[in-house]
């Protein structure tokens, strides 16, 4: 499991996108996700994560530089994480959904006009 820092209260938790055991905070927006993704042991070592957690507790969450932020948003979008968090079932073939494109709802055949 991934060691992560809660973006709301700064506690160390397991998994970047799981609701926090302390404050129940869960990332809802792309910005939240980007910050949550950044504050994991994928990107930083534990001492740094603890420092970040302390900063979040002080109300001063770490500021991502614009390039890192953009890259993280890109990662999040391409993985379809936001859709998963919104409670949509993952696509059966395991591929990330492409943007907002969904098949249009089927209309009854007699309503083609």
Q: Of 25 and 97, which CB lies nearer to Zn ion in the complex structure? A: 25
**By the rule CB under 5 A, 3 interacts with Zn ion:** no
Per-residue x/- marks for Zn ion, 13-52, CB under 5 A?
A: -------x-xx-x---------------------------
In our burial notation (b when 16+ CB lie closer than 10 A, e otherwise), range 61-91 reads bbebeeeebeebbeebeeebbbbebeeeeee
Count of residues that interact with Zn ion, criterion CB under 5 A: 7
Least separation in angstroms between CB 22 and Zn ion: 4
**Are 20 and 11 contacting, i.e. CB atoms less than 8 angstroms apart?**
yes
Centroid of chain to Cα 2: 13
Cross-strand partners of 4: 13, 40
Least separation in angstroms between CB 19 and Zn ion: 8
Which residues contact Zn ion (rule: CB under 5 A)? Answer: 6, 8-9, 20, 22-23, 25
């Amino acid at each position: 499991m991934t060691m992560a820092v809660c973006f709301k209260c700064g506690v160390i938790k397991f998994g970047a996108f799981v609701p926090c055991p302390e404050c129940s905070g869960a990332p809802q927006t792309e910005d939240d996700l980007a910050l949550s993704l950044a504050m994991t042991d994928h990107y930083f070592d534990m001492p740094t994560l603890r420092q970040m957690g302390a900063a979040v507790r002080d109300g001063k969450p770490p500021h991502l530089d614009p390039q890192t932020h953009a890259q993280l948003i890109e990662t999040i979008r391409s993985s379809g994480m936001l859709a998963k968090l919104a409670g949509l079932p993952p696509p059966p073939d395991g591929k990330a959904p492409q943007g907002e494109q969904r098949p249009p709802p089927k209309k009854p055949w007699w309503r083609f006009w």
